[in-house]
Every structure is written in structure tokens, then in C-alpha cells.
Amino acid sequence: MERFKDILKASNLKSTHQRLAILECIDTHGHIDIETLFELILQKYPTMSKATLYRNINDLLAFYILEEVKLPQQKQKYEIKKVPHIHLLCSQCDTVEDIFVETNALFETISSQSGFQIQKSFIVMNGVCKRCLSKK
Amino acid sequence: MERFKDILKASNLKSTHQRLAILECIDTHGHIDIETLFELILQKYPTMSKATLYRNINDLLAFYILEEVKLPQQKQKYEIKKVPHIHLLCSQCDTVEDIFVETNALFETISSQSGFQIQKSFIVMNGVCKRCLSKK
DNA sequence: CTTCATGCAAATAATTTGCAGTAAG
DNA sequence: CTTACTGCAAATTATTTGCATGAAG
């Protein structure tokens, strides 16, 4: 994917097969943990080592290309950095959905109530997704 | 503290010195990670082992006496389970403050927009706290 | 060519488990 | 007394690092 080559170049990172595979894999999965990511990439690049994976994840985080996603009760996951959004974690099918919602009203309330100056937010909702709800 | 003895008894857990120390320590600190907790308890109970600490944390989580707090860029922390609240994480002094805010409006928006049925939420705000703001 | 990234193995850190002894109720 | 809990050591699992080789630009 050309898109990722450009992103890497912008941070002076070389576009190795491994790095591109990591980015594409995270991109198509949306949210993924190290172990799953490793297994998926191994299928395409049998020589991929975990050291490389960890090093790349850390580098990509440092350059703000990736973002960590810490969900309750789950192993740490990663996603491609995008505009701020809310995570909807379904307790039935275990999938994570992203949703874009206006949160200014909430931010306002919090600021005026506490004097805290909000820079960014991390919001996860736990519940049951549309699909699982309609299954009953 | 009698309060914790009652809580433990309600879950058929014995009130050992170690357990009470863990609970009191987490209670007074608000949010604390394993390593810090271990060092603090060692001061009071020099024989405390990490195996016991981990086992107890897991048991207390299983009985919903503790709750995990996963903050961005931080080691996993724990807190005594309380009513739902929002975490305010200050990027200057690194402290976490709890705040109780009405979130129904946001929940409503999310539900109607996505069809997701919310059961609980985990919300962290990153920014600068009142104290640090006034220091300038 | 030059520099940076990879793979392997070894090192370190984090967490869990088995088991014999100890304390809570 | 009986059962559950603790501490220690060993076992697993997760993550990082050093170094020689290989690939990207």
C-alpha cells in the first residue's frame, strides 16, 4: 500500500516488508493484539521475529503512526492512529466498533465542574452491539 | 479497618493481614500499580511475596472488590470498586482524579446513533489539572 | 555504499503455579 | 481442627537488548 509507504517516509522510517505487513494487518483488523498480529504476519513472512515486531510497534507508537488501545479485561491492542473516536466493545461477540460522536458538551461539564483542562480523551463503552441484539 | 473485613467476609474470603494491607493501601492511594503496591506493603510486612500479591489482586478482581484501571501510557493500576466515575489524568503531575458527571446524554447519543446497548463505560480524560494550571 | 532494520539468541521483566508449611475461623 | 492462604522456588509468558547479517534508499 502506497499510503503506508508515504507515512513511513514522512518519519524517515524505511519501508520494509515487515513494517508494511504490520501496518496493513493492523489496518484491516482495526484493533489487534501482539500475539494475533504475530501469527498473522508469520503466515505471510515465516521469518518474522517477535523482536522485530516489538521494535516496530514501539517505533510506530513513538512516531504517532500507531496508537495503543487499552480495553478493560483485554490484552493491549493497537490501531492505526486516526481522528478521535469512541470504542464500543461488545461483551457478546468481543468485537470493537469505532464511533464518532460529539463530546464537547461532556468536556464542558467536566471542565467547569473540576477546573481540569482536557487535551484528549479515551472512551470505551461496554455493552451489546446492534448485531448481537438482533440475534435474539 | 472493619469495613474491609466485612467486604471480604461477604465473599467468603479470609481476612489475612496481607489482604487487609492490600486493600487499605489501594484505598489510601486511589490508583496504584502492582510494583508500587508491593513496595509499600513490604515496608509493613517484610515477608509479603509477589505471588501472594498477584493471587490476591486476581481474587479481589474476580469478586468485584477491586477494579482494574488501564490508563494510556501507564502501567495497569487498580482501585477499590466504587460507583461509576470518570478518570482525569494530569499529564504534568501524573496524578489521577475521579469525577462524577452525568453521562446519560452522551450514552443516549451513542445508542441512538449506533444501536449499541451500553452496559458500562470507561472514560479517561487526559490534560492538565486545576493545581498544575494554577502553578503558572 | 551507508545506514538502518532484521533475526537469532540471550537477557530481563512480569505473571503464574506447585507444594509444604501456617494462620484464620 | 479444617480449609484456605502464604512464601518460596521454579515455571511460564511477555518484552527488551546485543550483535552479526542483510536489505533499503
Q: How confident is the model at residue B136, as a pLDDT?
A: 73
- In tens, the pLDDT along B5-39 reads 999 999 999 999 999 999 999 999 999 999 999 99
Which chain A residue has its CA at the smallest distance from B125's CA?
Answer: A121
Instruction: Tell me the three-class secondary structure of chain B, residue by residue.
Output: CHHHHHHHHHCCCCCCHHHHHHHHHHHHHCCEEHHHHHHHHHHHCCCCCHHHHHHHHHHHHHCCCEEEECCCCCCCEEEECCCCCEEEEECCCCCEEEECCCCHHHHHHHHHHHCCEEEEEEEEEEEECHHHHHCC
Mutation to test the A interface, candidates B68, B70, B98, most A Cβ within 10 Å: B70
Residues 23-62/B with CB < 7 A to strand C: 34-35, 50-51, 54-55, 58
Domain positions in chain B are 2-80, 86-135
pTM of the predicted model as reported, rounded to 2 decimal places = 0.93
- The minimal CB distance from A113 to the residues B68, B72, B101 is found for B101
Covered bases, chain D (protein CB within 7 Å)? 4-10, 14-18, 23-25
Say which CATH architecture domain B86-135 belongs to.
2-Layer Sandwich (3.30)
CA of A3 to C1' of D25 (A): 18
Say which CATH architecture domain B2-80 belongs to.
Orthogonal Bundle (1.10)
Residues of A with a Cβ under 8 Å from any B Cβ are 68, 70-73, 86, 88, 90-91, 97, 99, 101-103, 105-107, 109-110, 113-130, 133
Is B123–A123 a contact, with Cβ atoms under 8 angstroms apart?
A: yes
* N-term to C-term CA, chain A: 40
- In tens, the pLDDT along A36-69 reads 999 999 999 999 999 999 999 999 999 999 999 9
